[in-house]
Amino acid sequence: MTSNAEWWRGAVIYQIYPRSFFDSNGDGIGDLKGITEKLDYVASLGVDGFWVSPFFTSPMKDFGYDVSDYNDVDPMFGTLEDFDAMVARAHELGLKVIIDQVYSHTSDQHAWFQESRESRDNDKAEWYVWADARYDGSPPNNWQSVFSIPAWTWDARRQQYYMHNFLSEQPDLNLHHPDVQDALLDVARFWLDRGVDGFRLDAINCGMHDPLLRDNPPAKAPDRNETRPCFMQTPKYNMCHDNMPQVLERLRAVTDQYGEVFTVAEVGAAEPLPVMKDYTYGGKRLNTAYGFEFLSTTDLTVEGVREILEGWPGEEGEGWPSWAFSNHDAPRVASRWLKDLDHSHRVRLIALLQFALRGNAFVYNGEELGLTQATVPFERLQDPEAINNWPHTMGRDGARTPMPWTNDDAPHAGFSTVEPWLPVDDEHRSMSVAAQHEDKHSTLHFFRSMIALRKSSPALQIGSLEFIDALKGVLAFKRVTDGETVLCVFNLGADEVAWSPDNASDFTVIAGVGDTVTGEKPPAMLGAYSGYIGFESDG
């Protein structure tokens, strides 16, 4: 195990979607006690820590990302005491705890917004983004929200529009206002004082708008078949303001007072790379960032992977990348990539790649089981995006269905004793934790072995990434630190190819998928859809 002082650099972080992880009290919804009850399982994966999606007090219009009280737990998830117990147990097991912080917007039921909307001259009048109507009564500009509606809603109390990049029930905070920044920093202190080890900053690039309220330009090549109008414009002015790094520096100054606190930005932007680089630059902002490059792609190609990785060459002052292949906002990767492959082969090849990459690896609960995107009938849909766009998108509900814990006669695959908030997919029952734990050749055991391999290797955790020129369809690179070099090779094509790196004989295959054999030298012929990780041989 590496002696890396920055525990988060190269870490594997397990994402827990609390509504769907484990229901401890029989109401059909997962909760904090349920997480605590299953932390031995999380620790058994070998991960460094876990990130819990929102559990704060909320009307649940967007399932917790509409926060009405930043400093409390919603009763459906438990209490602050339950949270403290979860943190304590996690730390006993050597797990770090990362929680979401939603700083770009609140619920319209938050006390701050309730006060702000009452008048134009109260103490919180400017805590949100308010604007007068245009001369004809229409919204101030053409900004569109992510949820297929204009980004402005009229409020009769103030006789003004308020801005929202998401649902109308999620008004945007005005992070240009120093008092808003101060209030959010107090929120960070509240949770740091309770022992959390890091924050995932939700949609943080949406936290600042253009004060001039200029219209967004049309997209360079708008797709008229888009299901959402926000993709028909370039979101130049409703997000990604140049002053946001100053806010992040203020946050970093707070987190640095608490030791090695991990901070990661979620960046969903038309051109995310410059924003992620900006938010993590120079060691005074955030530790790392991730975007939707892998989450939004519908297939896995050498060219696509290489282009994404080349954006983070490790230059002076550059931040550290993070990668998620699945999460609660995207269809599961097992249903997006390499769909013509056998399921077991597919998910192993994807995992082998993920744990070979330079950067942090986020594993979404159920990904270690190889869960596919669940089928949720229309009458059971919960997600407003899925309902609005049905049946033209896969939606988010299919990635949020309950974790299957058992494959016996227990109802709902052991997630709950009652009908859960989303149905358990029948296909997932056979992929349950219990079934895979008993099968030493399962996807679960493969994930455990890959995480252990990564943690044993400084090169895989924190090493540089050096590409090797290879044949078309072959992705090859080395992970390098002082004293260790690891060879990573992937044939992502449908044909067998004759290729190996010049010094292949210096390495021994430690992990492989496809025709590669562990314990032997790298093969001269790469089988279709195969890959291996090789360590330098002794002597």
Point out the residues that are catalytic: 202, 266
Grouping H, G, I as helix, E, B as strand and the rest as coil, residue 57 is: strand
Which residues are within 8 A (CB) of 153 and not within 5 positions of it... i.e. 6 or more apart?
161, 162, 164, 168, 171
Are 202 and 178 a contacting pair, CB within 8 Å?
no
The end-to-end CA distance of the chain, in Å, is 22
CA dist., res. 279 & res. 206, Å (int): 13
In 458-505, alpha helices (H): 458-462
Q: How far is CA 475 from CA 64, 307, 356, 462, in A?
A: 39, 11, 12, 20
Contacts with 296 (C-beta within 8 Å, 6 or more apart), sequence order:
330
438: left (phi over 0), alpha (psi -120 to 50) or beta: alpha
**Residue 306: phi, psi to the nearest 5?**
-65, -40
Residue type, 296: S
**Which residue type, as a one-letter code, is found at position 531?**
G
DSSP assignments along 508-519, one per residue: EEEEEESS--TT
